[in-house]
Amino acid sequence: MSQIPLLCDNTSAINLTKNPIQHSQTKHIEIHHHFIRNHVSNGDCVIQFVNSKNQLTDLFTKPFNKERFNFLRNELGIIDLKNIK
Write out the residues near other proteins by the rule CB under 8 A: 1, 4-10, 12-13, 16-17, 25-26, 28-29, 32-33, 35-36, 38-39, 44-45, 47, 50, 55-66, 69-70, 73, 76-82, 84
Minimal distance, residue 21 CB to other proteins, in Å: 14
Contact of 43 with 2, CB cutoff 8 Å: yes
Pick the closer one to other proteins by CB: 21 or 28.
28
Pick the closer one to other proteins by CB: 21 or 84.
84
Give the C-alpha separation, 37 to 16, whole Å: 8
Pick the closer one to other proteins by CB: 20 or 63.
63
CB atoms within 10 A of CB 14: 20
Residue 46: beta bridge partners?
A: 5
Cβ neighbours of residue 58 closer than 8 Å, sequence gap 6 or more: 52, 64, 68, 72
Minimal distance, residue 28 CB to other proteins, in Å: 7
